[in-house]
Structure 1
Amino acid sequence: MQMPNETRLDEELIHAASALLLRAHDPALHRVAAAARGASGAIHLGLSLATPRVSVCAESSAIANAKIAGEPSITTIVSVGLDPDDRPRVINPCGVCREVVPKFGTDELRVLVDAGDGRVIAATPEQLLPMPWVRARSYA
């Protein structure tokens, strides 16, 4: 049986992020890897960066790499971390990433997430952040 193209492409993203995490994992510096598919179809990778004072999410670095490569937007993104047995697994974006990712996605942006029952599903930004943060008016 042939997998639907979307499923095959999702698996390709998960595999790319997983391979990066296994290669670069360092619990003090790099605990999460991400893969973003650009509108061109290319995959752009990102790695979390941590210091005692600052952390940069893997999703942000994947998006930055996509923008550096000239991508106008991303269509799908996924993040992976390690499970208790040191196997890569899809994890869900933090609150900051739930705000950042949609700003760089297409109207049909898909975020691959852990459904909580062992399944990986595609979510929309509205499903991830149903009530987005709104900045208060500034009085300058």
Structure 2
Amino acid sequence: MTADTPYDPRPHAHPGLHAIALFEAAKGLLALLAASGLELLGPAPLVRWLQELTSRFQLDPDHGALAWLSQTINPDSVHLAAAAVLAYGLLRLLEAWGLWRAKAWASWLGCISAAVYLPLDVYALFRHPGWLSTIVLIVNLIVVAVLARDLVKRRR
């Protein structure tokens, strides 16, 4: 590629774009399944599950995050949560489609959305060191690097 030839990602799309697209599509499909599950189950099983957690870990059923959560679960909150998870899933699927087709906007979307999590990943690594938090940080760093590389190549 010469300096005066514009970067066309389609003929030589980086295999990393396709790998990230598949990963994002999997996240999107899981989110759609979760949203469907929330709508199908409704609030009753969620409240029962929280009560079981509270009793299993011998937590105070009247105080704490689990108590607050079990009090706020109702049909409206479940519908709202399902709608938020549905929107997240659709956004991930849209990003996956764009990355598969090597669209610049999808690289921007993916790079920004992965970079937003990096400070939280670093915090999690220091707060809970282990192989899982290390892998999550490394994967997000790779995603940001691959998408940033694609964006830099497009600008040349």
- TM-score of the two chains, using structure 2 as the length reference: 0.27
Name the structure where helix makes up a greater proportion of residues.
2
When normalised by structure 1's length, the TM-score is 0.29
Q: Which has the higher contact order (CA 8 A, sep 6+)?
A: 2
Radius of gyration: which is bigger? 2
